[in-house]
Chain A
């Protein structure tokens, strides 16, 4: 219905107007990760899940990286400054690197 689509339109324009550039960059990374994950999932469903651990490794790499990026996004978002009183943007980035390193260590170990 019309109300629904006009709200969607409002959402989109508001996003374009108010979001800082660096957050948009992070969002495009998240979009890319999401597409990668969906591609893997569709492959698994339609063709084969045979090396199941390889699928899980790849898929959880995208999911994990997605949530880590989302975490970074909310930590560096200026609107969230009072939610994260102890975390500066630089600290948030270091945390992001640390989390991604652990994640990828486990992913590579799991691909087998």
Chain B
């Protein structure tokens, strides 16, 4: 007779199966709804627009797709980006995101729901986060142990639905590749686990199809390309080769690699770069292992040994020799800088200022782990530990994924995104095993005289609850395997006896899960739901004050400049100018041409006389700078200025030198102590032009740098102020044409201002004599 701490509900097996299926559906729908709803803060508070910088390009490309059709999009050459060069867009982007939202838009229109393409783009990320929750449910269900499979899946779906680490990249309006990539990542991993478990070509083929979708959607596909072979390799090393593994990986690799090469941006890379070599190597290794297994089944062990030794020696020699030769001779490209900087963390700072100038490429600090994952951070190792204890094939996968993703998330802030799913899954493994243990109503049997310890094997499926006899059988089996306790006399039985010892941990963990929900909502609401296009501040009475300078300036450009005007700005604003203002830019956020960016950086950091010829050579009509000194907007161009200097110094070290922008004491200053180079730089002049006038003779306080700007008026000869937004955040300058009388701008300006100095005359004479 089994003792119960509380009476389990006495439903029949069929009833409880129906009920749990019903509850599962309801819970999944609610989780998806919660995931979508918690991403709408920005849309509800502000308006339904695209945030950030990169999404503006994606949005523009999607508009082309929706307006002109797929083939136009595929062959789109954009002459308005990277001005003199242009950009072959079709071959330099991952088209998955645009095609996905284009298809959704098309489907909605076919159903006579005429939705604007912008709404589709804004709401794509919330929609796909709901799907991510479902994919994670499927994935975690494969990982979960025995009876708590479904529970693990549901917990994981709940966690990924609201975890801030994922929300940060997928709020409504964040129309970026990551919005759909995590869904595809989890689906691919789920399908892969399915393929490994069943050993069926169909699952392997579908995995390859989703891998293809992933390659088309996100540059992070390299993570899958290396995760799956690593899983296979570790399984091989553990001696867990089966034919199932061969079928799963071979069919995935053969179809997936060929499929990935169809994306023009990827092209031949899967054959030529080091990132993809591990998958090729494991493919080859797997063929050899399979062949050896086949041979082994045909001949006796002794003869097999002879053959194996010969084959192994030749095979290993050939493979390593080929790889070494290919890498050395340059047939296979070495690691690209962006990937290499993940291993050698000091590499980017020294060699690639452009990569390390991006704020999300910095190492992650401890608080941000807690901030993004809350109590999952400490459930995560527990879940990995539980995976170690059971260690089925899929647990090996989760363990590898945890280790790799933890490392990468520690190196780079933005890779927190790939860590979040596995943290959710193994957190779900941990918490579902806790709930399983403490919800189990069965009280351990009284100690037997032999003193064999009754291990605590909690199984609390609805089915197990309703049929205690099967439970008893399991318990007996497990107590047989457990070792007898050394202290036989006390006959100590580990287990949970009373109702109180069940209720206490359950209450504690329920409360922590509740706190998790509160934390996630709070983080999402305060930290991750602000559109960067409009800046919001609060007045003292709590009312909201919206600063909309960016759009003010972009719309000025759109309406008051010629349609083919060229705008020069730092690359951060390239996509937004193209998206909002619909004008030609010189550089943008797709940083494919370092030299061109360095040219813009040089123009910004040298003096007017040097900059003007460059501006004219590139047909620049307007120069746009972001200035936050009046309002205290810290992400302005003066704060980014040092990166411009560094990037251009890499190309023209004799013309631009970072040292010259620091004071003699090594400080970066903009007040009276600023160096001459700093004061004469185009960026300084454009930012602080007429700034002191605002204060009418009083001290002109720069509210970002907390320094006083000197009162001496700044003279701009070759540029004239065309537009300054309400709060002086965006300042636009028109580049003057050459002087009609052939004078240089400085003297022409001096003449216009009535300063009849000798210099003017001599300049004029020189001109005459030379002519």
Contacts and interface: CB of A to CB of B under 8 A. Distances in A.
Interface of A: 3-4, 6-8, 10-11, 14-15, 18, 52-53, 56-57, 60, 63-64, 67-68, 70-72, 74-75, 79-80, 83-84, 86-87, 91-92, 94-96, 98-99, 102-103, 106-107, 109-110
Interface in B274-292: 287, 290
A64 to B, nearest CB: 4
B247 A11 contact: no
Contacts of B262: 106, 109-110
Contact of A3 (B205, B290, B306): B306
A65 to B, nearest CB: 8
B270 to A, nearest CB: 10
Given A71-B246, A102-B209, A4 B310 contact: yes
Nearest to B302: A7
B201 A7 contact: no
Contacts of A83: 199, 242-244
B303 A6 contact: yes
Interface in B173-220: 198-202, 204-205, 208-209
Contacts of A52: 268
A11 B295 contact: yes
Interface stretch (B250-258, B617-625, B762-770): B250-258
Given A3-B306, A53-B261, 14 more contacts: A7-B304, A10-B299, A11-B307, A56-B271, A64-B255, A67-B254, A79-B297, A83-B199, A83-B243, A84-B243, A84-B244, A91-B200, A99-B201, A106-B259
Contact of A60 (B257, B299, B300): B257
Given A7-B304, A95-B201, A110 B258 contact: yes
Contacts of A80: 243
Interface string B494-526: 000000000000000000000000000000000
A18 B303 contact: no
Interface in B285-326: 287, 290, 295, 297-300, 303-304, 306-307, 310
25 contacts: A7-B306, A7-B307, A18-B298, A52-B268, A53-B268, A56-B258, A63-B254, A67-B254, A68-B254, A70-B246, A71-B247, A72-B201, A74-B243, A74-B247, A75-B201, A75-B247, A80-B243, A83-B199, A84-B200, A95-B205, A99-B251, A99-B255, A102-B255, A103-B254, A110-B262
Contacts of A79: 297
A102 B208 contact: yes
A98 B243 contact: no
Contact of B258 (A4, A94, A107): A107
B205 A110 contact: no
A11 B200 contact: no
Contacts of A99: 201-202, 204-205, 251, 255
Interface residues on B, range: 35 or more
A83 B294 CA distance: 14
Contacts of A14: 298-299
Contact of A7 (B243, B244, B303): B303
A86 B195 CA distance: 12
A99 B259 CA distance: 12
Contacts of A10: 299-300, 303
B250 A70 contact: yes
Nearest to A63: B254
A52 B261 CA distance: 12
B246 A74 contact: yes
Contacts of B307: 4, 7-8, 11
Nearest to A77: B243
A75 B258 contact: no
Nearest to A17: B298
B205 A98 contact: yes
Contacts of A60: 254, 257-258
A71 B251 contact: yes
A98 B298 contact: no
A103 B243 contact: no
A56 B261 contact: yes
A109 B297 CA distance: 39
A79 to B, nearest CB: 7
B206 to A, nearest CB: 9
Nearest to A15: B298
B303 A96 contact: no
Contacts of B300: 10
B202 A86 contact: no
A75 B202 CA distance: 12
B297 A96 contact: no
Nearest to B244: A83
A96 to B, nearest CB: 6
B583 to A, nearest CB: 36
Contact of B306 (A4, A56, A92): A4
A73 B205 CA distance: 17
Most A C-beta atoms less than 10 A away, residue of B199, B253, B287:
B199
A71 B299 contact: no
Most B C-beta atoms less than 10 A away, residue of A53, A63, A74, A87:
A74
Nearest to B260: A106
Given A60-B254, A98-B202, A99-B205, A11 B246 contact: no
A91 B247 CA distance: 14
B205 A102 contact: yes
A7 B305 CA distance: 9
